[in-house]
Structure 1
Amino acid sequence: MTPVFSHGDLRLYLLNLLDEGPRHGYDIIHALSDRTGGTYTPSAGTIYPRLAKLEEEGMVTKTVDGRKTIYEITDAGRAEVASRAADLEGIEAGLADSVRLIADEVRAGVREAMKSLRADLAAAAQADRTHTTQAPPADDARTRSREELHRLETVVNGFRGQVRTDIRTYVARGGELTASIVDDVATRLDEAARELTRALRGG
């Protein structure tokens, strides 16, 4: 999966978020998710060590408010943000590109999975037509059909499980499952179903 932030960019982006106002850790995580269109939702284990490092560098301070730790940028942190305005513009542009690339990767993965499914369905249908052409005894044909049906169901279920795993992993890593991606998958599944129907009907 295409990385959202290049090396060192996250540090500057955290300072940029804090330059907008004090935030607690989970607020920063949610802000990053919002700013990246849901394609990047870092873990607490990613954000808090970086905030601690910024505190060591004198770029941020922290205060405890009840059960929350609030982080606030210092003058030194503001100075770095101001001096690296051009870098921040590049990061914003890179984020937009990363969102598009990740969405393209998901669509490409779905297309490849659908291509594989169509090939499996076509092969199963061809095998069925071959058995029919050979005109075996009715009982043998029914037995083989049941065997091939079981094999086809295994193929379809395997495909379904793989797609569910891939999509759930993508979302769990912070990816945004947009309506256009879902529509694309639905369209391609419909196409595969129509191709299977045509194949089973012999044309």
Structure 2
Amino acid sequence: MSPVFSHGDLRLYLLNLLDEGPRHGYDIMQALADRTGGTYTPSAGTIYPRLAKLEEEGLVTKTVDGRKTVYEITDAGRAEVAARAGDLEGIEAGLADSVRLIADEVRGSVREAMRSLRADLAAATQEDRASAAAWPPPADDARTQSREQLHRAETAVAEFRANVRSDLRTHIARGGELAASVVDDLTATLDAAARDVTRALRG
């Protein structure tokens, strides 16, 4: 999900970013992605026309620095930012809500993955017990089946690790924040899953 900039909000937020200091176009796009936890990554086609409009209105100026074009807010632009401080607070609150929602999604994905892993392990354990009760296999067959189930379990754990690691790294790469509570939930859920496996193995 991405934060929704209502009409005029993105324009004002661009002025706010430039009020913090001069920036070139890519820096502005990166700052927007960082401030929104990766939930909003604007394209050049979105940002540059708005910067050009702000320049036409006399709110920003631009200078060429080598291969980069640097934008800087004018006194008129600062005056608008100051006059609309209340609007900016509302925009910032909306962006903070979006980042919190992203954290909730990560936490929910971790919990769902662990529920699925526990369900798979429980089903495999029940299947093994049913097979043993119905037809006790020779010792060699039992060892072969155990090795196959071990491979299944190791594959499930590896896939879970890879998926969660990918989700977390992608979230951070997009500028998202990783709250301590999310890691705490992940650790607690993994500990619970380990205890479930131990109990299942002990029968």
TM-score class normalised by the smaller sequence: 0.7 to 0.9
Report what 2:11 is aligned to. 11
**5+ long unaligned stretches in structure 2:** none
| 2:114 aligned partner, one-letter code | M
Displacement of 1:79 in angstroms is 4.3
Alignment of 1:144 with 2:145, yes or no, is: yes
Greater CA deviation, 66-75 or 85-94?
66-75
Q: 1:97 to 1:189 in 2, by over 3 A?
A: same
Greater CA deviation, 75-84 or 162-171?
75-84
Alignment of 1:145-164 (within 5 A): 145-164=146-165
Displacement of 1:99 in angstroms is 2.0
Displacement of 1:35 in angstroms is 4.6
The CA distance in 2 between the partners of 1:59 and 1:5, in whole Å, is 23
The CA distance in 2 between the partners of 1:118 and 1:24, in whole Å, is 50
Root-mean-square deviation (CA), in Å?
A: 2.7
The CA distance in 2 between the partners of 1:111 and 1:48, in whole Å, is 41
Q: Is the 2:34–2:176 contact (alpha carbons within 8 Å) kept by the matching residues of 1?
A: no
Report what 2:121 is aligned to. 121
The CA distance in 2 between the partners of 1:142 and 1:49, in whole Å, is 68
Secondary structure of 1:176's aligned partner:
coil
Of all paired residues, the percent bearing the same amino acid is 74
Displacement of 1:16 in angstroms is 1.2
| 1:123 aligned partner, one-letter code | A
Q: Is the 1:24–1:71 contact (alpha carbons within 8 Å) kept by the matching residues of 2?
A: yes
The aligned length equals 200
**5+ long unaligned stretches in structure 1:** none
Secondary structure of 2:63's aligned partner:
strand
User: In the TM superposition, what whole-angstrom CA distance separates every residue of 1:77-134 from its partner, at most 9, and x where no partner exists?
Assistant: 3343244332212112212222222111111111111111111111122222223333
